[in-house]
Amino acid sequence: MSKIRWSVDPVHTQIQFSVRHMVISKVRGEFEQFETWIETDGEEMQGAKAFFSAAAASINTRNKMRDDHLRSGDFFKADEFPNLTFESTSFEKKGGEDYILKGNLTMRGVTKPIELAVEFGGIITDPYGLRRAGFSLSGKLNRKEFGMVYNDLIEAGGAVVGDEVSLDLHVEFTYKPS
């Protein structure tokens, strides 16, 4: 079976996250500049290889002051570490359309293993002859494990920024059959 390199369709892809804010709510954000691809044997997803990179400076939570703070040394240190990256180590089918994607995530020069739950949406041929594959991925990480230890405490107790970050990715890949 021949290898297929699927390219991201950035217009139909969102790389989002959320984190607790002052214990009572969540703040959502996204990375607006990224690249990602997968490589499969034919159109078989089992065992696919995946790569992802996002520009840390492209973080957007819809608040300029907060985004500037997230780019600073308290969080992403975007000047020193311009990209966060993920490289897969395995992509295994759990059952039905559910998979587990394991790999190494690097942020701020720290690399840690991470596991993401994946829902495979299927493959279609679009009106332009491109093959499209859709995925929804979710997972969690502890930001402090990547050196993002900044926090303030609020009067009622608890932290301004939660430690656990929820990841929520919706990705479409394409390739042109020969």
Q: Which one, of 86, 87, 59, lies nearest residue 74 by Cα?
A: 59
Residue 114 is encoded by which pair of tokens? Answer: 């991470």
Give the span between the Cα atoms of 164 and 144, in whole angstroms: 9
Model confidence at 163, pLDDT cuts 50, 70, 90, reads confident
Cα(118)–Cα(156) distance, rounded to whole angstroms? 37
Element (H, E) at 111: strand 110-125
Domains of the chain: 3-175 (2.40.128.110)
In this predicted structure, the answer to whether residue 119 has a pLDDT above a threshold of 70 is yes
- Enumerate the β-bridge partners of residue 92: 100
**What pLDDT is stored for residue 138 in this prediction?**
98
Whether residue 21 contacts residue 159, with contact meaning beta carbons closer than 8 Å, is answered with no
CA-only gyration radius of the chain, Å: 17
Task: For residue range 50-75, list pLDDT tens digits in order.
Answer: 999 999 999 999 999 989 999 999 99
Kindly report the pTM of this predicted structure. Answer: 0.90
pLDDT of residue 151 exceeding 80, the answer is no
CB atoms under 10 Å from CB of 34, counted, come to: 20
> What average pLDDT does this structure show over 92-119?
97
Q: What is the mean pLDDT of the chain?
A: 91
Side chain identity, residue 120: F
Q: Are 120 and 101 in contact (CB under 8 A)?
A: no
